[in-house]
Amino acid sequence: PTHIWWIRRDLRLKDNPALHSALQGGHSVLPLFILDPRLLNTAAENRRHFLFNGLRRLDEDLRSRGSRLIVRSGLPEEVLPAVVAETGADGVFAEEDYTPYAVRRDANLARYIPLQRVVGVTVHHPAAVVKPDGSPYTVFTPFSKAWKALPLPKPLPPIPDHLPPPPFLPSDPIPPAPENAYFPAGEAEAERRLLEFLDSAVFAYADDRNRLDVDGTSRLSPYLRFGMISARRAAALTMEKIQQTADPAGRKGAETFLNELIWREFYNAILYHFPHVLQTAFNPALRNIEWRHAPAELAAWQQGLTGIPVVDACMRQLLTMGWMHNRGRMIVASFLVKDLLINWQEGERWFMRHLVDGDPAANNGGWQWTAGVGTDAAPYFRIFNPILQSKKFDPYGHFIRRWLPELERLPDEYLHEPWLTPAEIQRKTGFKPGRDYPLPLVDHAQVKERTLRAYQQSKPRE
């Protein structure tokens, strides 16, 4: 008898609950990935490439254990029943995914194929982290307390060196794709990053995670997004680190990192319980803000030409790497929504088009939070000052210099506000604001009133 391991966002062999379940009972296991045009046609090129390279790595890892990956293009509701019929499989094991599309797809399929969903995208199932009365949390801190009170699932035993060979089936080719130099795909790379991070940067993470000019974070997000590393293994190793670290500052670093992993769980839970957040603001009172229609300003923001160096540096980092620092995401999101008064959903869409870690739950959560319209949001009247953020989190301007070569000639003290460069320095350096680099799109000091008014005038629709 055959079991199908239907791979979706769990591209790994280690600590994989779906694979583990499929291997039970001595079945032959068929590792299957379905290239679903509904998902692929809308996915950003960066993520498609990362996925394809991840599949190639996974196939190599499977082959080194005597198995191999079967790839089929098509709609799951057509492909899966066909593969079940071809193999006579009596079980299909897949990691449960909480996006609205995935929930619908799986519920539909489960009616006519033996589909078994296991928990794995998150450490705990969203329905397991709820208030005593069974209702979902909408605030992070109590959610995280409840999350921490649950026992961590036991780590799974290593899988055998030799996997039962799958029945012979033709496989579609994995489309060729260039490797993202900043994020090489695959489980081995993910594992290396996690272990290296937990051996060094984690100890300074509590402070360094906010610095734009320091590589102080794990850069694991694309790997967690596609399950090239197991979320629960990351959480378990982090908890171990907390227990083993005597130095309070170092321990705080590990605790803060665990907290970020729990933010990921939180936003997955929000999407699971409130799928409509992908369409509208969580807060009904803030669903009808009159946003500005300003295509030229939106385009300047997208291309990193707003005239605010920290914003532009972050946006160029996104275009080049397919990734942006968390502090940067908050700064540019706040600038788009609060300074330009452009709908946060425009930003959400742009991020999804470019982020290699682009994830509906985390991205939507991050945008709603920054816009102040979400569950556990920053109060909307608190508005980031991008210049103060810039000076605080890129104090020497190293980050700005790295991403904005046009500011190369500018002395450090004007990097955060090039429009203030005195005439004499302009003469000496040959740098001219407005010619060599755009003047700021807006004056931050003047936009606050406009934003507060727009938010206050939003009325819940009956």
Residue pair 325/212 in contact (Cβ under 8 Å)? The answer is yes
> Residue 380, interface with ligand FAD (CB under 6 A)?
no
Please tell me whether residue 255 binds ligand FAD under the rule CB under 6 A.
no
Q: Which of 260, 287, 391, 419 binds ligand FAD (CB under 6 A)?
A: 260
* Residue from the set 221, 283, 302, 458 that interacts with ligand FAD by CB under 6 A: 221
- 86 belongs to the catalytic site: no
CB 348 within 8 A of CB 358: no
For residue 369, say whether it is annotated as part of any ligand binding site.
Answer: no
Span near ligand FAD by CB under 6 A; candidates 260-268, 391-399, 406-414, 431-439: 260-268
Considering the candidates 5, 367, 369, 403, report the single residue annotated as catalytic. 367
In the chain, how long is the greatest CA-to-CA distance? 81
Site track for ligand FAD across 31-70, x = CB under 6 A = ----------------------------------------
The distance of Cα 186 from the centroid of its chain, to the nearest Å, equals: 16
Query: Is 95 among the catalytic positions?
Result: no
- Cα separation, 205 vs 211, in Å, equals 10
User: Applying CB under 6 A, which of residues 109, 198, 224, 341 lies at the interface with ligand FAD?
Assistant: 224
Is 307 annotated to bind ligand? Answer: no
Q: Are 359 and 266 a contacting pair, CB within 8 Å?
A: no
The annotation status of 266 as a binding-site residue, yes or no, is: yes
Stretch that binds ligand FAD, among 52-60, 105-113, 163-171, 259-267 (CB under 6 A): 259-267
89 makes contact with ligand FAD (CB under 6 A): no
How far out from the chain centre does Cα 316 lie? Answer: 18
Torsion angle, alpha carbons of 389, 394, 400, 402, to 10:
-150
Active-site hit among 189, 326, 385, 419:
326
Nearer to ligand FAD, 260 or 436 (CB): 260
Beta-sheet strands, E only, within 90-247: 91-95, 115-118
Alpha helices in 112-227 (DSSP H): 140-149, 187-199, 205-208, 221-225
Closest to 340 (Cα-Cα) out of 443, 258, 429? 443
Least distance in angstroms from the C-beta of 352 to ligand FAD: 7
Nearer residue to ligand FAD within complex by CB, 58 or 361: 361
Neighbouring CB atoms inside 10 A of 352's CB total 18
171 is in an annotated binding site: no
Q: 344 an active-site residue?
A: yes
Task: Please state, in angstroms and rounded to a whole number, the distance separating the CA atoms of residues 235 and 218.
Answer: 13
Alpha-helical segments (H) within 64-94: 76-87
The response to whether 267 counts as a known ligand-binding position is: yes
User: In 199-302, which ranges are E strands?
Assistant: none
Which listed residue (5, 6, 147, 263) is catalytic? 263
Sign of the CA dihedral running 427, 431, 437, 441:
negative
Q: Residue type for 288, please?
A: N
Give contact residues for ligand FAD (rule: CB under 6 A).
209, 217-221, 224-225, 260-261, 263-264, 267, 326, 329-330, 333, 351, 355, 357-359, 362-363, 365-367, 370
Q: Which residues are annotated as a binding site?
A: 205, 217-221, 257, 260-267, 357-359
Q: Which residues are annotated as a binding site for FAD?
A: 205, 217-221, 257, 260-267, 357-359
Which residues are annotated as catalytic? Answer: 260, 263, 291, 326, 344, 367
